[in-house]
Chains A and B, each alone.
Chain A
Amino acid sequence: MNKHSVFRTILAGIFALAAFAAAPAKAEPGDEYARPAKPAKQYTIGVALPQLSNPHFVAMLYGFIDEAEKLGVKKVVWFEAGGYQYLDKQLSQIEDLIASKVDAIILVAVNGPGTVGAVESAVAAGIPVINCNVMTDSDKVVTRIRSDDTIIGEKEADFMGPALNGSGKVVMLRGAPGTSWAENRGNAFKKRLAEKFPAVKVIGEQYSQSTPADGLKLMEDFLQTFPQIDGVYDGTDTVAIGAAQAVLASGKKGKIVITTADFQADTEKFIRDGVINMSVVQEPVIIGRWGMRAAINTLEKQTVPKVLWTPLLQVTSANVNNIDMSSVRAPVGWKPPER
C-alpha cells in the first residue's frame, strides 16, 4: 500500500464514521407501516419475484410468508422468474396466478414497461396488484412499496466523492437493464457526482444481468480497459460481489473504493475485509412484511397509501456489527416452503 492509498483509506474511514455519526442507523425511514388486525377471512395471496438466486429476494419472500402466517393467510402462492431476463416467464406466472383466482397479487417486477399488460389483466380480472421493490410502469397498481432508489444512488455518490478526495475516475456496474432500481440509482449517482464532485469522472458504465458472475466479468474487462480506476459504483451487491472479486484478484484492494447497495453474506464479508467500502442497505424482510400488510389492508377495504417508502441503512466497516439482521436477511437455515 503506497502513501497515497493509506491516506485515502484513512480518509474513507473518517468519512464513513462521519456519515455514520451524522445519520443514525435508519437513515431515511418511512413511517412504520403497522400490522393490521387479523382479518376474519383467510385469503390466498400470489407473489411473483424476479429471482431467488439473490438472497435479497429470499429475505423478502421470508417477509411475505412470515407476515402472512401472522395475518392468518390461507396460502401464499409464490413464483420466481429465474432472472431479470425472463420477462416472458414472469408474465406467464402472473397469468397463472390470475387463473388460480388468488385474492391479490404482490408483484416484484422483472421489468418496468414489460409488465404493464399483465398488471392490467390482473386488475381487469378484479385482482388487486401490490407492487413491491422493483417497479412496474403500470399505473393500475394499488400501491408502490419501494426504497427511494434516488437516495441510494445519491448516498453512493456522497460517499464516493469524499472517499476519492474529490477527484478520480469511476466505473459503474449499473445492474439489470430495464429495472427501476438500476435506472434510478445509476442516474441519481451520476447527477449527484456532477453536481457535488465534478472532478470525479465516470469513465465507463455498463448494464449486466444481476449475478456475481456478470459483475466479475464486467469488472475484469473494465480493469483491462482502463489502467486507472479509483472507484466502482454498483447498482446492487449481486454484481458488487463479482466486482470485489475482480479487484481482489487484480491486487488493487484498498486502492479502489467500492460502493454498492444491499447486504448479503458475501457483501458483509467484503465490507469486513475492506474490499467493499460502503453499502446502502435495504431491508427486504420489512419490504416483504409491508407488502403483505398492504395486500390484506386492500382486501379488507382499508385505505392504503399510493407509495410507501421503506427504510434504508448505510453500512461501512465502522458499523457493520450494529445491523439488525432480522430485517435484512431471512433467518439462518430458512428455506422457502414447498408450494
Chain B
Amino acid sequence: MPAILIAMALFFGTINPNFWSVTNLGNVARQISVLALISIGQTFAILSAGIDLSVGSLLALVSVVCAQAMLDFGLVAGIVIGVLAGCLVGLINGILIAKAKVPAFIATLGMLVAARGLALTLSGGLPIAGLPHAFMMIGAGYWGPIPIPAVIAAVSFIVAFFVLSRTRFGRYVYAMGSNEEAAVLSGINVAKYKILVYVVSGMFAGIAGVVLTSRVISGQPTLGEVQELYSIAAVVIGGGKITGGVGGIGRTLMGVLILAMLSNGLNLIQVSSYIQNIVVGVIIVLAVYIDLAREQRR
C-alpha cells in the first residue's frame, strides 16, 4: 500500500507541480480530516466484526445540534454538545446491537435514515447560520503550517493507535472480531465492550461533525451523504478485513490517504468527477483483491 501511495503522489506531482505546493498539501490535509475522523471510528466497528453505517448522517445531525447549541449557549457549549450528541447516538447504536441483538448492519442502517431525518426535523431542512466568526478557526485555521482539522485528525489517530494496540479495550476489540464465541468463553464482557465500540465511533463522528460545521460555518442537515461508505472503503483499502479481527489504525490511515489523494490529485490534473468515481470504485475492489490474493499465497 505505501508503494501505491508514493507512486500516486509522484504521478500527480509530475503532471501538475502544484500538487506538491504547500497550499495543496494543506488542502489535502484539510479535506482528508473529516473522512479520517469517521474512518477511525469505523475501524473500531469493523475490527469488532461490526459496522457503523450511521456515521455519514451523524455528521449532519451533529452539525445541526452543534450549530443550534452554539447559538443558544455559546461557542464552547456548542462544540461539547455536538460531540456528546455523537456519543449519545453511538450509545443507542451500541445498546441496540449488544443488548437487543439487532445486527449491526441493520441497527446502524436504521440510524442512518433516522439521524438524517432528525437533522432535517431539528433544522426545518434549512441551514443554521449566524455562528460566531471565531468558530471558523477550527475548520480554516493553522497550527504553524498545518491546518487545524489535520492536527485534530492526527492527534485522534495517535490516541486511537494506542488504544487499539496498548489497552485491554483494544485487545478485546480484536478478540471480539476474530471469534466472538471464544471472547465470550474467555470471560470478556462482550456486550459492554461492543457498546463502547459504537460510542467511540459516534464520538469520532461527533468530532468530525464539529470540524465540518466549522468548515461550512453553519449547521447543515444535508452534510455527509455517502460518507459512511467512503469510511468503509478507507478501512478495506488500507487492508482491514470487512469481517473483523484484522486491520488497524495505521492501515486505515493508508486507506484514507489513498482516497483523499486520489480525489484531490484527479481534480488537480483535471480529470472529470464522473471518471473519478469510476477510478475510486475500481481501486476499492482492486485493493481488497490484492489483499486476498496475498493471503492465499501465504
**A residues apposed to B, CB below 8 Å:** 77, 79-80, 82, 84-88, 91-93, 95-96, 98-101, 111-117, 120-121, 125, 137, 177-178, 207, 338-339
Contact = CB atoms under 8 A, between A and B. Distances in A.
A120 B214 CA distance: 13
7 contacts: A99-B268, A114-B217, A114-B218, A115-B216, A117-B139, A177-B126, A178-B220
Contacts of A92: 31, 263-264, 267
Given A88-B216, A113-B216, 16 more contacts: A80-B273, A84-B222, A87-B216, A92-B31, A92-B264, A93-B267, A96-B264, A100-B268, A101-B18, A112-B127, A113-B130, A116-B218, A117-B136, A178-B126, A178-B220, A339-B272
Interface in B241-283: 263-264, 267-268, 270-273
Given A88-B216, A88-B224, A114 B127 contact: yes
A84 B263 CA distance: 19
Interface centre among A77, A98, A114, A137 (most CB of B within 10 A): A114
A82 B273 contact: yes
Contacts of A116: 217-218
A111 B218 CA distance: 10
A114 B213 CA distance: 9
Which bucket holds chain B's interface residue count? 35 or more
Given A87-B220, A98-B27, A177 B270 contact: no
Given A111-B216, A178-B126, A85 B225 contact: yes
3 nearest CB pairs, A to B: A99-B24, A113-B218, A113-B129
A177 B127 contact: yes
Interface of B: 16, 18, 21, 23-24, 27, 30-31, 34, 125-127, 129-130, 136, 139-140, 212, 214-218, 220-225, 263-264, 267-268, 270-273
A178 B225 contact: no
A101 B127 CA distance: 30
A209 B16 CA distance: 35
Contacts of B34: 88
B140 A114 contact: no
Contacts, number: 94
A338 B272 contact: yes
B136 to A, nearest CB: 6
A100 B15 CA distance: 12
A177 B215 contact: no
Contacts of A86: 225
B144 to A, nearest CB: 17
A178 B31 CA distance: 22
B135 to A, nearest CB: 10
Given A95-B31, A177-B222, A207 B126 contact: yes
Contact of A100 (B16, B126, B215, B223): B16
Contact of A95 (B30, B129, B225): B30
Contacts of B220: 87, 111, 114, 178
Contacts of B127: 111-114, 177-178
A87 B34 CA distance: 13
B9 to A, nearest CB: 14
Contacts of A99: 18, 21, 23-24, 27, 264, 268
Nearest to A120: B140
A308 to B, nearest CB: 25
Contacts of B126: 177-178, 207
A93 B31 CA distance: 10
Contacts of B214: 117
A130 to B, nearest CB: 20
Contacts of A85: 222, 225
A238 to B, nearest CB: 16
A168 B275 CA distance: 49
Contacts of B18: 99-101
Contacts of A93: 267
Given A96-B27, A113-B216, A116-B217, A137 B222 contact: no
Nearest to A110: B222
